[in-house]
């Protein structure tokens, strides 16, 4: 079997679309395909990028079959005539899902807010991939209530929050920075996840004197870098599973 045929088969088995990380884990298990390289994942990535007659990019790190473009975009509510709120919901839950899966791959416990648990990360509900149904009671109730609204939380093995993530596709990221300020007494990472075009906006707002107590702990994470992280850790797990 040729390499591009193995990638095509894996994509078909995934329902016609897949994150690059999920594709790595499927392709590497397909028999009768010889990669002849120590970096098969780079080859898989190159195949989906170069074979535009077979694959097209939906979002950073998310690819689909060109032959089924119409069906797939309709199933994800991403057609041109889809309501704007559907685009917003897809983007938000997609990047939430990537963050949750990265956390799981890195052995963190993962939490999403109750209002997001039934939202879809591709074909799965966020509640199916996050590992916590309830937030660990790591502090006072009034701060816990605030933490319950954060888009994704990673907890370490001591059941304290390692990282808080807020996804800002089109909303005002200043609201998230105010939320992060509530947790300034914890040794926790804070990440604003958004399109790279919003980095300058982030830099301007985090420089406000009101956010000085958390400036050292808040980072900006763009979508492409997030998807690259997801692919990297997925590749590591896939490699370990076959060695």
3-state secondary structure 127-187: HHHCCCCCCCCCCCHHHHHHHCCCCEEEECCCCCEEEEEEECCCCCHHHHHHHHHCCCCCC
Under 8 Å CB-to-CB from 114, ≥6 apart: which residues?
148
> What is residue 242's predicted lDDT score, i.e. its pLDDT?
58
Pull the structure tokens for residue 204.
Answer: 């301007």
Q: Taking residues 59-68, report their average pLDDT.
A: 95
3-78, what's its fold? Arc Repressor Mutant, subunit A (1.10.10)
pLDDT score recorded for residue 80: 86
User: Tell me, what's the pLDDT at 180?
Assistant: 97
| Helix, strand, coil % in the chain, rounded to nearest 5 | 50, 15, 35
- The helix/strand/coil state of 217 is coil
Alpha carbons 196 and 213: distance in angstroms, whole number: 24
The DSSP code for 213 is G
Cβ neighbours, 10 Å, residue 145: 11
Averaged over 186-198, what is the pLDDT? 96
Q: How confident is the model at residue 241 (pLDDT cuts 50, 70, 90)?
A: low
| Total Cβ atoms within 10 A of residue 70 | 9
- d(Cα 121, Cα 86) in Å, to the nearest integer? 13
For residues 123 and 17, what is the distance between their CA atoms, to the nearest angstrom? 10
Where does the pLDDT of residue 186 fall: very low under 50, low under 70, confident under 90, or very high at 90 and above? Answer: very high
pLDDT band at 243 (very low <50, low <70, confident <90, very high): low
How far is it, in rounded angstroms, from Cα 230 to Cα 130?
Answer: 15
> What's the farthest any 2 CA atoms get from each other in the chain?
60
Portions of the chain given CATH number 1.10.10: 3-78
pLDDT at 94: 96
Mean pLDDT of 169-189: 93
15, pLDDT greater than 90: yes
Residue whose C-alpha is closest to residue 59's, from 97, 113, 104? 97
Mean pLDDT of the chain: 93
Across the range 60-86, mean pLDDT stands at 92
Burial 102-130 (b: 16+ CB within 10 A, else e): bbbbeebbbbbbeebeebbbbeebbeebb
Look at residue 68 and tell me whether its pLDDT is greater than 80: yes
Q: What is the pLDDT of residues 108-119, one digit of tens each?
A: 999 999 999 999
HEC states along 24-49? HHHHCCCCCCCCCCCCHHHHHHHHHH
């Amino acid at each position: 079997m040729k390499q591009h045929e193995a990638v095509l088969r894996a994509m078909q088995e995934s329902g016609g679309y897949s994150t690059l990380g999920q594709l790595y884990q499927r392709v590497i298990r397909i028999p009768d395909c010889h990669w002849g390289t120590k970096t098969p994942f780079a080859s898989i990535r190159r195949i989906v990028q170069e074979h535009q007659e077979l694959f097209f990019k939906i979002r950073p790190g998310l690819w689909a079959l060109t032959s089924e473009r119409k069906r797939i975009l309709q199933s994800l509510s991403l057609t041109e005539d889809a309501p704007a709120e559907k685009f917003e919901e897809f983007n938000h839950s997609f990047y939430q899902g990537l963050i949750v899966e990265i956390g799981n791959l890195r052995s963190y416990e993962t939490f999403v807010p109750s209002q997001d648990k039934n939202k879809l990360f591709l074909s799965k509900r966020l509640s199916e991939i996050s590992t916590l149904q309830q937030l660990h009671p790591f502090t006072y109730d009034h701060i816990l209530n605030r933490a319950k609204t954060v888009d994704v939380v990673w907890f370490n093995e001591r059941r304290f929050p390692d990282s808080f993530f807020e996804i800002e596709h089109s909303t005002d990221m200043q609201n998230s920075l105010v939320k992060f300020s509530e947790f300034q007494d914890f040794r926790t990472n804070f990440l604003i996840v958004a399109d790279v075009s919003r980095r300058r906006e982030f830099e301007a707002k985090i420089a406000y004197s009101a956010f000085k107590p958390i400036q050292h702990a808040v980072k900006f994470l763009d979508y492409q870098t997030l998807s690259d992280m997801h692919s990297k850790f997925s590749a590591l797990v896939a490699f370990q599973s076959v060695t």
